[in-house]
Structure 1
Amino acid sequence: MGKTDKAVLDVLLDRYGRTFAGEAGIKLSDHPKPLYQLLVLAMLLSARISAEVAVAAAKELFAAGYSTPKAMREASWQDRVDALGRGHYRRYDERTATMLGDGADLLIDRWKGDLRKLRDEAKGDDRRVAALLMEFPGIGPTGADIFLREAQAVWPQVAPHLDQRVLDGAGKLGLPRQARPLASLAHSNDELARLSAALVRVSRSKRTVDEVKSAAR
């Protein structure tokens, strides 16, 4: 790693390197409950709504006790709508409440409520994992990428998962735009997930790109 890349990486991780799961209060580990919470968050982040609102809605759902597929399925549709509303997730609250219930049903019925079984069915191949994730209501290619770039912190089988949005952010900062060279800058899968989140945030704003470049000089 060159001095310039290291300086940019240090600034990125220091200022923007918190995962979206971390923001939502998810203590990510390779266990069913936090993995399900990450799936819920990925679905919420997939909508045309701000990341801040999606994170707030996830927090409200979890605070209401809907942190497992069983609890989500047993919650009434109105309970889910109300929790989403408290997070100001209002434009999509009714449709999303339905999708959350249907998704919980699918996870329980097909994978016994455990996303590790989905991963194992896909034999740890990130493209196959993504295809299975997209069977959940509300999870398309964007949602699958969100899930995988965060899950790679605890699922080494799918790492590195660096989607186009991450690579675009890297290119704007002069970092490698190819997955393997970019992944080699991180010292662990956890750091890779943090780097991915930071690059997604940076990719949204030229002002942020300029800030990081200036601080890294």
Structure 2
Amino acid sequence: MSKTTSAADLGLTLAVDDEPALFGWFLASYLFGKRISQGIAAQAWTVLYRQYGRDTPRKLLDLSWRQLVGYLGEGHYRRYDESTATRLLDVCHQLQEEYGGSFVRLRDASTDRVDFESRLQRLKGVGPKTCEIFMREAGPLLFPD
């Protein structure tokens, strides 16, 4: 896998009207934004998104913390599995509560791309790196020139 993993590398085709794909890319960006190898992050993403079909914040929230820790472990994401599980549940809860689990709603609530990125980084556990990774591919779709 290349140093910079793309949505296409994960088999995702991003489209504004495809919330599961946008969430899939967000989930990947979230995992890639942490201090763990891209290969392990991609394995954990594959387990969560592909193997167990957690393609929306609501579906991820249907997991218990213990189940999520187990799924991350299946993907060899063991070093930070417990803290990552906690943060993933927190960020999905916040996405669900504030934006109905929708990145289009998050965009619609934003005045512009800068505001969108600011709102994105107010989500628990989303820092500049995760935002940068997500926006690299989702940004042009959500904010076409």
One fold, TM greater than 0.5? yes
Q: How many angstroms apart in 2 are the aligned matches of 1:19 and 1:28?
A: 14
Whether the 8 Å CA contact 1:25–1:59 is kept in 2: the answer is no
- Normalising by structure 1, we get a TM-score of 0.60
**Residue correspondence of structure 1 range 58-97 to structure 2 within 5 A:** 58-62=45-49, 63-97=51-85
* Residue identity in the other structure for 1:150: E
Q: Which runs of 5+ in 1 are unaligned?
A: 1-15, 160-217
- Normalising by structure 2, we get a TM-score of 0.88
Deviations, residues 104-132 of structure 1 (Å, cap 9, x unaligned): 11111111111111111113x22211111
1:24 aligns with 2:10: yes
**Residue correspondence of structure 1 range 177-192 to structure 2 within 5 A:** none
Q: Which runs of 5+ in 2 are unaligned?
A: none
Change (3 A) 1:127 1:153: closer
1:3 is aligned to: none
Whether the 8 Å CA contact 1:66–1:75 is kept in 2: the answer is no
Q: How many angstroms apart in 2 are the aligned matches of 1:54 and 1:158?
A: 29
Alpha-carbon offset, residue 158 of structure 1: 5.8
1:53 aligns with 2:40: yes
1:142 aligns with 2:108: no
Whether the 8 Å CA contact 1:29–1:35 is kept in 2: the answer is yes
1:42 aligns with 2:29: yes
Aligned alpha-carbon RMSD (Å): 1.8
Whether the 8 Å CA contact 1:77–1:97 is kept in 2: the answer is yes
Matched-pair identity in %:
34
2:106 is aligned to: 118
Q: Stretches of 4+ moved more than 3 A in 1?
A: none
- Higher Rg of the two aligned structures: 1
Q: How many angstroms apart in 2 are the aligned matches of 1:100 and 1:158?
A: 28
The number of residues matched between the two structures is 141
Whether the 8 Å CA contact 2:5–2:38 is kept in 1: the answer is no
